[in-house]
């Protein structure tokens, strides 16, 4: 099998070289997503990151990186002290630790995540993931710089 403009391997069982994936972000049945570990905009210079527009509040920066078949990929970058207050997602989510540590507090039942007695807090580190059901109230906070990848699982029924 021959190469397809340098973006596909000649052997279909071998992965495409990383440099080829960076040149071509998607193909038939696949999409390459980069930037999962990038820091909060402005703390480390990154090409393509615009300055965060909400500097008056200590909230993380959220950047949608890709819309995939069945999921949306979002990078959440935290500065020390950033908090994403109680909220819920309409679809199930998976939060994956990339850099630093983020505390995720998940409400038990229909309560708010800020109710300490009726919530569970998990410290998410690099290499760990936390799944949260749709409509479950949760919050995120970081005491130091941190980055997580959020997958919003909007699969088709």
| Selection from 29, 1, 28, 32 nearest residue 14 by Cα | 1
User: Residue 80's pLDDT is what?
Assistant: 92
Q: For each of the chain's 157 residues, which pLDDT tens digit applies?
A: 444 444 444 444 445 444 444 444 678 888 888 888 777 765 665 444 444 455 567 899 999 999 999 999 999 999 999 999 999 999 999 999 999 999 999 998 766 666 556 899 999 999 999 999 999 999 999 999 999 999 999 976 4
Return the H-helix or E-strand segment holding 122: strand 119-124
User: Residue 75's pLDDT is what?
Assistant: 95
Task: Supply the DSSP string of 17-84, one letter for each residue.
Answer: PHHHHHH--EETTEE----TT---BTTB--TTPPPPS--SS---EEEEEEEETTEEEEEEEE-TT-EE
User: Residue 88's pLDDT is what?
Assistant: 96
User: Residue 43's pLDDT is what?
Assistant: 64
Contact 151, 111 (CB under 8 A): no
CATH of 34-152, one of 1.10.3720.10, 2.60.120.10, 3.90.700.10, 3.40.50.720: 2.60.120.10
- Cα–Cα distance for residue pair 114/60, rounded to 1 Å: 18
User: Residue 140's pLDDT is what?
Assistant: 98
Residue ranges, CATH 2.60.120.10, the chain: 34-152
User: Residue 135's pLDDT is what?
Assistant: 95
């Amino acid at each position: 099998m021959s190469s397809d403009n340098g973006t596909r391997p000649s052997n279909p069982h071998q992965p495409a070289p990383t440099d080829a994936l960076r040149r071509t972000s998607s193909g038939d049945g696949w999409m390459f997503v980069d930037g999962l570990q990038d820091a909060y905009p402005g703390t480390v210079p990154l090409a393509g990151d615009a300055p965060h527009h909400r500097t008056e509040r200590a909230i993380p920066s959220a950047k949608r990186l890709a819309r995939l078949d069945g999921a949306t990929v979002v990078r959440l970058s935290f500065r020390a002290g950033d908090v994403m207050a109680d909220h819920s997602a309409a679809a199930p989510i998976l939060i994956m630790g990339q850099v630093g540590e983020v505390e995720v507090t998940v409400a038990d039942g229909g309560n708010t995540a800020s109710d300490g007695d009726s919530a569970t807090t998990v410290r998410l580190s690099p290499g760990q993931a936390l799944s949260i059901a749709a409509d479950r109230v949760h919050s995120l906070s970081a005491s130091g710089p941190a980055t997580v990848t959020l997958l919003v699982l909007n699969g088709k029924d």
